[in-house]
Amino acid sequence: MLILAIDTSAVASAALVSDDALEGEVASFATEDTRSHAEVLAPGIEDLLSSAGVAGQDIDAIVVGVGPGPFTGLRSGIATARALAFVWDKPLHGLMSLDAVALEVAESTDAAAEFLVVTDARRKEVYWARYSLADGQLPRLEDGPHVSFAADLPDLPAYGAGAGLYSDVLRADPGFSKEQPDALYLGQFALARLASGAQLLDSTPLYLRESDAQVPGPRKRAL
């Protein structure tokens, strides 16, 4: 099974993963910055396909990170994934973006049995979720995702760029203090979930926050 995975919940990334390839990875790319999704994503996917010699019709499914993440960036990946799935007529699945970091943590040697994944939600807040880990299993989502102040999170080892940003109040793992959700891990997670017969999400974005719009109150009268 060949999957095109896309995530723009923090950086922009995409990957081709297959259960036939070593560790699942066929090809992948990720940007460093979190603000250029609209420019780099489509060219990045185009390069990915051509370097792997893969055509759209060869892909079995598309997986997209549905956040949480800053809204405009998050939408660029979902808009891209939906349009690609429409043209190629392929199934489209969603995965919670923090799962990508959780899988990366699970594959590291010093993973804790219970931990947090934390990313930057801007406005002095973080997106986070709590996972548990049993031997030889995929990380299991226990709670979340939520958006909160870092100081209000459970007292557990914390992984991801949001933990690094608030290492003064979180038990941030230094090895993961810059880690962002990456489509490569998201794709591997999707392969493993689908292989075990599990359902994935649809592509509805997890905004977690309402739009900032305020319903205007009645105008104050002069008297």
Partner 1 sequence: MNRSQPLVLGIESSCDETGVGIVRGTTLLTNTVSSSMDEHVRFGGVIPEIASRAHLDAFVPTLRQALADAGVKLEDVDAIAVTSGPGLAGALMVGVCAAKALALATGKPLYAINHLVAHVGVGLLDGIPNGGAKPDGGSPASVAAGAAGAPRLPDNLGALLVSGGHTEILKINSITSDVQLLGSTIDDAAGEAYDKVARILGLGYPGGPAIDRLARTGNPKAIRFPRGLSQPKYMGTAEEPGPHRYDWSFSGLKTAVARCVEQFEARGEEVPVADIAAAFQEAVVDVITSKAVLACREHGIKDVLLGGGVAANSRLRELTGQRCASAGIRLHVPPLDLCTDNGAMVAALGAQLVMAGIGPSGIGFAPDSSMPVTAVSLPA
Residues that bind partner 1 (CB under 8 A): 36-43, 45-46, 56, 71-72, 75-84, 86-88, 205, 207, 211-216, 219, 221-223
Select 136 or 216, whichever has its Cβ closest to partner 1: 216
Please state the closest distance from residue 67 (CB atom) to partner 1, in A.
Answer: 12
Select 123 or 221, whichever has its Cβ closest to partner 1: 221
Which residues have CB under 8 Å from 55's CB, separation 6+?
Answer: 49
The CA-based angle 68-50-202, given to 5 degrees, is 30
Please state the closest distance from residue 216 (CB atom) to partner 1, in A.
Answer: 5
Please state the closest distance from residue 166 (CB atom) to partner 1, in A.
Answer: 25
Contact between residue 124 and residue 165 where contact means Cβ atoms under 8 Å apart: no
Please state the closest distance from residue 72 (CB atom) to partner 1, in A.
Answer: 5
Select 196 or 214, whichever has its Cβ closest to partner 1: 214
Strand partners, 146: 128
Which residues have CB under 8 Å from 182's CB, separation 6+?
Answer: 7, 11, 13, 15, 28, 30, 100, 101, 104
Nearest to 75 by CA among 189, 210, 208, 204: 204
Select 70 or 157, whichever has its Cβ closest to partner 1: 70
